[in-house]
Amino acid sequence: MANFPNVTVPEGSSCNITGVVKTEKGGTAIGSASISAATLQLNNLNTDAVIRAAGSIAADIDVSGNLNTVITAAENKTYTETKNYEYHVATIRITGTSGDGKVVTIVQSVFIKVTNNKYQVST
């Protein structure tokens, strides 16, 4: 998981995913006017369950390509009470047109380590 952005949050806390939509690392930003589709799907990696089905996040991208979307407190909960944490993955898919007129699709995953507030270690 080292190649993907990640964050740790306590269960029941919301978190923001922020970034700039670009054609490539160091490339030109793609603003909202050039984006035809933008979705986020949230999955639990421990159970393979879909927490949030793929839904539009296009409104979370501004004219300069800045992305700011929220994973809610209700979505950041643990589903396995016997573990002190579990991973969720937010998969973002954005399709847009770059400055040179090419249609590009960008896929980025963000791993969210959700700590279990109820986990108790037996002694």
With tokens 């979370």, the residue in question is 60
- For residue 100, what are the contacts with CB-CB under 8 A and spacing of at least 6? none
Report in angstroms the alpha-carbon separations of 1 from 25, 40, 103, 112.
19, 19, 28, 11
The predicted-structure confidence for 92-120, as pLDDT tens digits, reads as follows 999 998 878 889 899 999 999 999 887 65
For the segment(s) 6-115, the CATH number from 2.60.40, 2.40.50, 3.30.67, 1.25.40 is: 2.60.40
Q: Taking the model in full, what pTM does it have?
A: 0.86
Domain ranges of the chain: 6-115
Token readout for 44 is 């639990």
The predicted-structure confidence for 56-89, as pLDDT tens digits, reads as follows 999 999 999 999 999 999 999 888 778 889 999 9
Closest CA to 36 of 108, 107, 99, 103: 103
Strand partners, 8: 113
